[in-house]
Amino acid sequence: MARNIEIKARAGNAADLPPAGLFFYDVPRGRLKLRQFDDGTPAELIFYQRDDHDGPKASYYTRSPVTNPEAMHALLATALTTRGIVTKERHVYLTRVDGLGDFVELEVLLTQDNEEGGHAEAHAMFETLGVPESDLVAVVYVDLLNPDDEPRQAA
């Protein structure tokens, strides 16, 4: 699986941005989402595992292009429970999530076994952008939208 370091924090309001739809499905471990865009960007199915804690965190993921996202969602919704749907807008580092507000997201791709360096780089970028530690978000958007659900942990 590929790896990256992800860091996410709440952000102030921003201008209107083009939306992307994320369908999350209940799976026995990790997370599975179908991502599709309104601007013609190809859809993709993504499985990933990541711990939920504030600050940068390692994410192990596998992505697969999807040529027919509507049919894929119908198939997955039949076979699995749809945990939630997240509609978000992203502009460089800014993401707007319907029902939650604006967030800053960064991903540092790891090409070597240097997770510590990825964490340091993520923190440094947030510091440069002026994002305070108190705004860091530990969980995925679908967990924020469904706070009564049990958060999924990486296996």
Q: Which of 134, 136, 36, 144 is nearest to 99 (CA)?
A: 144
- Judge whether residue 13 has pLDDT over 50: no
Kindly list the domain boundaries of the chain, sorted by start residue.
2-145
The average pLDDT across 97-119 equals 81
Which amino acid is located at 112 in the chain? Q
- The arrangement of secondary structure in 2-145, i.e. its CATH architecture, is Beta Barrel (2.40)
- Judge whether residue 20 has pLDDT over 80: no
**Integer Cα distance of 74 and 61 in angstroms:** 22
Q: Where residue 17 falls among pLDDT bands split at 50, 70, 90? A: very low
Q: Where residue 153 falls among pLDDT bands split at 50, 70, 90? A: low
What does pTM read for this prediction? 0.60
